Amino acid sequence: MKPSGNQQLWLGDANANSYRSLSGHLRLAPERRNNSTSPKLKVDFNQSTGVAVMHMQNPPVNSLSLGFLTEFCIAVEKLEMDKSCRGLILTSSQPKVFSAGLDIMDMYGKSPEHCAEFWRAVQEMWLKLYSSNMVTIAAINGSSPAGGCLMSLTCDYRIMADNPRYSIGLNETQLGIVAPFWFKDTMINTVGHRTTEMALELGLLYSSSDALKIGLVDQLVPEDQVLATATKTVTKWLAIPDHARQITKSMMRKPTIDKLTSNREADIQFFVNFITKDSIQKSLGMYLEMLKKRKS
């Protein structure tokens, strides 16, 4: 997939240089972490195994902001283009949360142009992950609502911490917004039509054990073993010849991916029209007020 015009801007992102070289165990310099431009991702690439672990560190809850998504897509693309990187584990550095999903601040009170750019970045994240040639494993070590759930669903395998307080699901309707068709398609591909219908209409969040029951995640392990299990799992997947696995993965996912790539601009337009409506902006405003009150 060629980066579109808009993504040229991303390549100019202040943090982009951090990911230029991915040889050996790359760790971003710790002194950068507290900068205002501190990287939102820590990528550990183990060249001997060919597996990269991407730790999301966008405090407090790994919101998928435009900035984060930009950095994320660059990082994934660099790994994708590095022939020596064959596996990718996604996990969180933040306590109790994998990712809280799309950043509402990029949809609330913003210009149509900003909303369009944001949505294109969400699409890009999904396209890059769902079509990745790498083996992708979600090491879900915390709650994972909405966009966080979507990110998990794009992976080849999902391992979640066995903690009843962690939940996962596409709960958009609870906020008065709607998961677009490609979120829906990804969920149908994972848990089937009926479960998706009820889950999306009610905006259901599932506890980790319920998520396992419906197949929204593949495995539960104690929280301190999530990453180790992901590492073992990726090794198992990498035992399969890459070309056969990749052709098979593409065959399974191509129709779903093609639906978005051939409707990408219309999908952006639909999102922008929807999210900039007065009534939807009001809903988001009320939701933000509610979040503020809950904190105080």
Contacts with a second copy by CB under 8 A lie at 156-157, 172-179, 181, 184, 188-194, 196-198, 200-203, 215, 218, 236-237, 240-241, 243-245, 247-249, 251-253, 279, 283
Q: How far is the CB of 141 from a second copy (least distance, A)?
A: 22
Q: Which is nearer to a second copy, 108 or 181 (CB)?
A: 181
Choose the catalytic residue: 150, 172, 200, 203. Answer: 172
Instruction: Choose among 293, 224, 291: nearest CA to 61.
Output: 291
192 is a catalytic site residue: no
148 is a catalytic site residue: no
- What DSSP line would sit under 268-291, residue for residue? HHHHHHHHTSHHHHHHHHHHHHHH
Choose the catalytic residue: 102, 175, 220, 284. Answer: 102
80 is a catalytic site residue: no
Backbone angles phi, psi at 280, to 5 degrees: -70, -40
50 is a catalytic site residue: no
189 token code pair: 């591909």
Q: Characterize 4-16 residue by residue with b for buried, 16 or more Cβ atoms within 10 angstroms of its Cβ, and e for exposed.
A: eeebeebeebebb
Question: CA-CA distances (angstroms) from residue 213 to 59, 136, 158, 208, 217?
Answer: 31, 22, 13, 9, 8
Residue 121 has a CB neighbour count (10 Å cut-off) of 24
Q: Order of strands, edge to edge, in the sheet holding 219-221?
A: 41-46, 51-56, 87-92, 135-140, 157-161, 219-221
Q: How far is the CB of 59 from a second copy (least distance, A)?
A: 29
Active site residues: 102, 147, 171-172
